[in-house]
Structure 1
Amino acid sequence: MPTVLMTGGTGLIGQSLVNILQQRGYHIKLLTRSMRGDKPGVQYLLWNPQRGELPVNDLLDADYLIHLAGANVAEKRWTAARKQELLLSRTHTLDLLFDVFSHHPHRLKALISASAIGYYNASQDRWFEETDAPGHDFLAKTCMEWEAHAQRFESLSVRVVMLRTGIVLSRQGGFLAPFLKALRWGVAPILGSGTQWISWIHIHDLCRLYANALITEQMKGPYNAVAPEPVMQKDLMLTLARMLKKQYFVPFHVPAFMLRLLLGEMSTEVLKSVRVSAQKLQREGFQYSFPDIYTALSELLHT
């Protein structure tokens, strides 16, 4: 039974991914800062990245490493201290693991690391592919550092895949939760102009992609983990409203200047328009279960 070592495994993506990996016959080891986990068949390993404490001997039998760790980008206002936390929670954790595997015999075959489509610059009139240059804002620079630290594992003869993930759609929370709450009160929030492109992916497809990347040896380097059909923010909201069978709802426009006052620098990401291409994954044969927004929302809302 192959072993997958995972960071960030108790988060939104990690919990769903663990289920899929268990169904596929993997033994799962989760690095966690508390021992509250009690999922059957999962081995929880205590670590403290801030102190550099981790259970070295329990890591060395891992066949694969999945790196999902990282503080929530949307949880708090981006102060200087918070931006440092967002960066180090992604890069320092990888460095600790790199030091372990570089100084001990191991059998690690592949690292599958999260990244984000925040890597790209904002544009409404073009598609972004994996070969495009990064942007210049904070999140783009964070993604560059994130990926650079992951690529260090290549020096250990470990295959590295970086999944530049779009907006994840899930019924368990995340992006959709605040909008669904507003819609249940008959309000459809339109952020800024509403014409910004949202490049999204259903959580089931994202977890399938991680699972496939473990064993697909031709997968190397960056991939855009997005569905083939991005959607404008206002169209997403109106589709959600109609699918919730709301006969009466009020589109509520939240001006860009108000978002900047409320969110500060984080508003850049809320208003950013990035239309990201999934063609690389499609060319390599990945089949989406939810390729368009209607089928994705239909499943998530059980309509």
Structure 2
Amino acid sequence: METVLITGGTGFIGEALTQLLTEHGYHVIVLSRQPHAHTNSANNLLTYAHWDVRKQAIDLAAVQAADFIVHLAGANVAGHRWTNTYKKEIVDSRIQSSQLLFNTLQQHPNKVRKFISASGTGYYGENNGLTPFTETDPPTTDFLGNTCQAWEAGALQMEQLDKKVVIFRTGIALNKNGGALKEFYKPLQFGFATILGSGEQWVSWIHLHDLVRLYFNAIVNPGLTGIFNAVAPKPVQHKDLIMTMAKVAKGKSFISVHVPAFALKLGLGEMSTEVLKSVNVSCRKIQDTGFQFSYPEIGAAMEQLLQ
């Protein structure tokens, strides 16, 4: 039985990946600051181990048991207003956690074969939707672009330890119980389909089911290495995402409302730039490896998520 160590395993992506892995017979160890809070799990293939990134402490036995590490940990980019303090937490939670894992692997014998890390499409700048970004395009120099560069550098240093590395630059992961879709859906409960800004900005999204399958594919496919965009084949403009969501969930029983850009800037501050940014990203590289998306189009994705 092979073992997968997951950081960020209590988030909605980590939980879904854990379920898929244990269904296929993998032993999963989830790192947590409070592992004893999760000991009631009925899944005998799932265990929890302690780590504390701020104290640079980790359960060495858990690391040494792992054949693969999936690194999802990091403060929620959209969790709070981007104050200087919270921006530092966003960066530190990614850099310090990667460094803790690197130091542990470097200093102690282990059997880890592959290190699989999250990153984000915030790596890229803004485009008009006509020419999608590919993995070879340069990063932008704004806050998220710099954060993603540092995040990926933390993963790529694992190659110094002869570990294979896979990095997924993830778009907006759609899941009804968390993430952006949960926030988009809140006004719809009161009958309002809320379109942010002009609504013409491009959104590169991915269904949670496909995102988890990408991580699983990276584990079971020993030859898969490198950086890949984790986005569905057909990005949409923000207004089309919102209207598709509304029609699937409410039929015709809703009113569309635009929230102007200036109001978003007042309410969200610097983070509004990401909400309003137009980012069209290509998934051709991962498709060329043979991966097939279950939900390539937003309509079918929304129907599965909301019905």
Tell me the SS of whatever aligns to 2:28. Answer: strand
- Identity value in percent: 48
Tell me the SS of whatever aligns to 1:296. Answer: helix
Q: What amino acid maps onto 2:284 in structure 1?
A: Q
Q: CA deviation at 1:14?
A: 0.5
Tell me the SS of whatever aligns to 1:128. Answer: coil
Matched, 1:128 2:130: no
Aligned to 1:19: 19
Tell me the SS of whatever aligns to 1:140. Answer: helix
Q: CA deviation at 1:65?
A: 0.2
C-alpha distance in 1, partners of 2:20/2:152? Answer: 25
C-alpha distance in 1, partners of 2:108/2:189? Answer: 54
Q: What amino acid maps onto 1:32 in structure 2?
A: S
Aligned to 1:203: 208
C-alpha distance in 2, partners of 1:134/1:181? Answer: 32
* Structural RMSD (CA): 1.0
Q: 2:90 aligns with which of 75, 80, 86?
A: 86
Tell me the SS of whatever aligns to 1:263. Answer: helix
TM-score (norm 1): 0.97
Q: 1:191 aligns with which of 192, 196, 199?
A: 196
Q: 2:299 aligns with which of 266, 290, 294?
A: 294
Aligned to 2:181: 176
Q: Deviations over 1:161-187 (max 9, x none)?
A: 000000000121211112222112111
Moved more, 22-31 or 248-257: 248-257
C-alpha distance in 1, partners of 2:136/2:105? Answer: 29
C-alpha distance in 2, partners of 1:298/1:180? Answer: 14
Matched, 1:143 2:148: yes
TM-score (norm 2): 0.96
Q: CA deviation at 1:55?
A: 1.3
Tell me the SS of whatever aligns to 2:146. Answer: helix
CA contact (8 A) 1:121 1:135 kept: yes
Tell me the SS of whatever aligns to 2:280. Answer: strand
Q: Deviations over 1:6-57 (max 9, x none)?
A: 1000001001110000011110111101121132221110111111111113
Task: Report the count of equivalent residues.
Answer: 302
Gaps of 5+ in 1: none
Aligned to 1:5: 5
Aligned to 1:56: 60
CA contact (8 A) 1:187 1:250 kept: yes
CA contact (8 A) 2:5 2:62 kept: no
Aligned to 1:269: 274
